Every structure is written in C-alpha cells, then in structure tokens.
Chains A and B, each alone.
Chain A
Amino acid sequence: KQEVTQIPAALSVPEGENLVLNCSFTDSAIYNLQWFRQDPGKGLTSLLLIQSSQREQTSGRLNASLDKSSGRSTLYIAASQPGDSATYLCAVRPGGGSNYKLTFGKGTLLTVNP
C-alpha cells in the first residue's frame, strides 16, 4: 500500500528566503506526482505535475524534482513571499495507467513572515 510522507510538517521562514519541501513515497512504481497548494478552508490548487519519466518541472519561482528510484520529490520555492503561506500537499498516482487515484501526504504548513 502506497504511503506518502511530507517533512517538515510545518515551516516558518522570513520573506525572501529560498526553501525546500520534501515528499517521500514507499512504492516507486508511480505514474506521476503532483504538488498542490491548499489555503485554509479552501480547495486544492495544482502547482506542478511531474511524470514518472521526468526529473523536474518548473513554474515561475517553483521547481519540483523527482527521484523515482529513491521514492523522493522536493518542491523548491525561490524568494518566498507572504502570499506563499499555505499548506503544500504532495500526491502520487500509481503506475499502470488504469489507476487514477491520488494518494496524498499530510502536507507541509508554510508560513512566510514579512
């Protein structure tokens, strides 16, 4: 059974700092991995998707990497801003193509202080 773990559970940084959020998963047979952002009481906003054959994806100040064989992904946020404060979730989709469910980690609560 796939398990997804995110470390740290919470992170507080001053504005402008670069930071890394970690995600690990127990079964390396994944189809893809998605990073989401969740604001309090709100839905999930997709940030980046990395296919199993890819090593990284970039969108603006965000860069996500994937090391499938070791079961790890990182989300790098450059020059953090107070508006980046949210919970960041990592989710993996199992391999095979006919399984659609995403398995989520519990998230990292990020606070960026002005």
Chain B
Amino acid sequence: EPEVTQTPSHQVTQMGQEVILRCVPISNHLYFYWYRQILGQKVEFLVSFYNNEISEKSEIFDDQFSVERPDGSNFTLKIRSTKLEDSAMYFCASSVSGGRADTQYFGPGTRLTVL
C-alpha cells in the first residue's frame, strides 16, 4: 500500500541554523500538507499546498518557514533560522482531491530537536 515517507526521521540542529525536512507524498496525490506536534500537545496545521502554491497557512507559518515542491516527487519544509520552540515532530501529509471524502494520509514524521 502506498505510503507517505519522510526523511530524516530525527534531525538535531543548533539554534539559528537552517533545516530542510523532506517528504515524498503518495504518487497520485495532488494536495500536500505540513503539520507539527510539540511534545504533549495537539497536532497543529502549518500549511497546505496545491498546484505549486500555498493554498492555506496558519499563523504559525511565518516568514521563517517556506515550502517547495522541487520536482515531481518531493515536498519540502524549510525553516530558515531555527528557534528552540521549533522543536517538535513534523508530519507531512497528502491527499488526492481536496474533496469532501478526501482522506489526508500522514507520514511517520521527522523529530526536530533544536539545541
């Protein structure tokens, strides 16, 4: 069964450094998402992406964040200058159509630790 994959599974970085989290969505899906979950807290929406542009973003997704689909298979989240509070599990998700019956499928996550 097709799955969303994410790399790396764990990333440790120093505060102020740039990180890029990578995702390979399910191949026939057209909608892509990033969510994050700070330890012990709810899963929070960051951004949705369709047709090579952001379709929706949350207040968390400020100028330090960006997303890109650099080729036909990868979807990336970049954090330009990491802060301690960016430490979280980051989940990529994808879905087929964005319609009412559209299930979002999640990847296994990347645990980001900012020191």
Contacts from A to B (Cβ < 8 Å): 31-32, 34, 36, 41-46, 49, 51-53, 89, 91, 97-107
Contact = CB atoms under 8 A, between A and B. Distances in A.
Contact of B104 (A53, A102, A103): A102
Given A43-B91, A43-B108, A106-B42, A101 B58 contact: yes
B103 A42 contact: no
Contact of B103 (A46, A52, A99): A46
B106 A97 contact: no
Nearest to A91: B43
A56 to B, nearest CB: 14
Nearest to A36: B106
Contacts of B43: 44, 89, 91, 102, 104
Interface of B: 4, 31, 33, 35, 41-45, 48, 55-56, 58, 91, 95, 98-109, 111
Given A44-B91, A101-B48, A34 B100 contact: no
Nearest to B43: A104
Contact of A105 (B42, B104, B105): B42
Contacts of B99: 97
6 contacts: A43-B106, A49-B103, A98-B56, A100-B31, A100-B95, A101-B48
B100 A32 contact: yes
B48 A44 contact: no
Contacts of B58: 101
Nearest to B92: A43
B27 to A, nearest CB: 17
A46 B45 contact: no
A69 B75 CA distance: 37
A36 B106 CA distance: 10
